[in-house]
Structure 1
Amino acid sequence: MTRLVMMLVLLLASLWLSLMAGAVWYGPSTVGHALLSASPTDVQGLVIRTTRVPRTLVALVAGACLAVAGGVMQTLTRNPLASPGLLGVNAGALFVMVMLVSLWPGAGVSLWYGGAFAGAALAALLVWAVAMRGQASGGPLKLVLAGAAITALFTSFSQAMLVIDQQGLDTVLFWLAGSVAGRPLAEVTPLMGVALVALFACRPLARSMNVLAAGEAIARGVGVGVARLQLLMVVLVILLAGSSVAMAGNIAFVGLIVPHIARRLLPVDHRIWLAGCALMGATLLLLADVIGRTVILPREIPIGVMTALIGAPLFITLVRRQGGGHGRA
């Protein structure tokens, strides 16, 4: 519990730093005044409230959801190197966004967000349907194989459409690189609502996930409805990762790395572990955004690039330590 408190303190510090950092740095008192006062003549406060607060909240929610979605996926597949991408979430979201941009270029950004979420859900449901076809439980291996196949299918469709429509490629580049900037709160608030509901919905399932992590046979032996639980976990991943991808685009490694690190720092009790994943994921994305927007001023590095730069070396380290074996969730 002490480590959870320390993670919470680090998250709050990162959140405050995100509001201070940028092309122009503001002091803590300036940030506090901007949050407490809504004066229309206060230029600094207006910048903080309309630009930095939205991107901070998007990074906060998206980071927490991606990390928790990764934790749920690793339990579902009983593989500590699993991530939400195994369900085709990113590929499905990209496909629908590309289709909307190509066929309906006049559509608003809010429709793109909704389309990305719908595409993520569609891909994940297709993966689940294929994995479960023909038997009561397809098992983790079949889920991974189905995810790889559906991901390849949607990725191929998206690439084909982008080759034909160069203007569409230019339009969706912001999503491909991953970004939390330029997201008006009015447009992403519904997605944040879905994400927060899904985060809190993980709590009632935590005990059952603890049992499932020990194996399907043991879970069935103590009366857990494995197929129902697995379906609920897939739905949670869809809601968590789908809303995050729709808000912030293609952000890699958060759902892969954070749960594994949290497993080393916290007890593998899902009531504690998933809470730690949420705190660490939000902190990681906030710090990645701060570094990305300050390291090469006046330009910014997309947050998806920053998480890849941070996550790739960690992932290589994890693979080397894993030694090709199967980890525990």
Structure 2
Amino acid sequence: MLVKLTKSRDSSPAWEFSTRKIDHDESYLLSLMRDRGTSYSSAPQSVLMSMRGMLITVLTLWIPLTPLMWLLYRQLSAANSPAKKRRPSNQLVCFEDVEGVDSAKVELMEIVCCLRGSINYSKLGAKLPRGVLLVGPPGTGKTLLARAVAGEAGVPFFSVSASEFVELFVGRGAARIRDLFSVARKNAPSIIFIDELDAVGGKRERSFNDERDQTLNQLLTEMDGFESDINVVVIAATNRPEALDPALCRPGRFSRKVYVGEPDEVGRKKILAIHLRGVPLEEDVGLICNLVASLTQGFVGADLANIVNEAALLAARRGAEMVSREDIMEAIERAKFGINERQTSGVQ
């Protein structure tokens, strides 16, 4: 369509052209322009404009595909085990660092002797226990005991929390279980430690979580699949043994149960002596241990470690170079009753 526009006195006529988009008859248009004597020219598209168009195209495709690619990556990496491996050279914990649980140490020392080879149990037709279940209240040192077993035996130690197996994607927990046990077999003799076993080993008739049931079934299968000549011991910890599935506790799996309870007064003294190493005190260490142990009935190892830490913080807060008896007593009061207004005002 051709339309003539208004013109002023000192300007030439202005014309407005309305055209349609040329798709497949571009050659016809060129031939028509040549026949009519119309002059025309063309210029190649600049490199900058070409890169701009390419960038727009890539971004247009990349933005909606990014979430899909992330989901695909999560699925493909499902077999990666979340376990943290500790090599024998990095095992700095031994039974000397664990106190207050003497009966549990005696039971676990047998596992250490078997892994070391100092007990010829196979000659008598015995088999190395496949699973050891540490049962007890929180903070009693179950994780520390498992690390001490690996440190004493000098074998690789794989530590994982059971809650890390259960994920949003179905089948991922089972894949992680397979990968964990596969790596442990390749590094045998080794120890697998599963903390908070009840997070994945709960009774199946009470569970409505298919993913957790699949993970538990895979764990049962892997423990049954141990060969007798492969020295891989699974140590698990829980404070809710009554919630575990009976299949986990049958002979051949977690058949050995070791109770890790609250320490008595003598045990609390020994635990305090360990945590007070390197802490400068105004009084004798033995005197402080006796005092604190007599005032902390029912406290576990984690509670005692927290008391020592709080006392050191209180001493640092008042600018002292040594921890006093008053700091220890105030830390015990905080652990028992919480922080009161008097203690809060002292901070300010």
Taking structure 1 as the reference length, the TM-score comes to 0.22
Question: Per residue, is there more strand in 1 or in 2?
Answer: 2
Whose relative contact order is higher, 1 or 2, with alpha carbons under 8 Å and at least 6 apart? 1
Higher-Rg structure is 2
TM-score by length of 2: 0.21
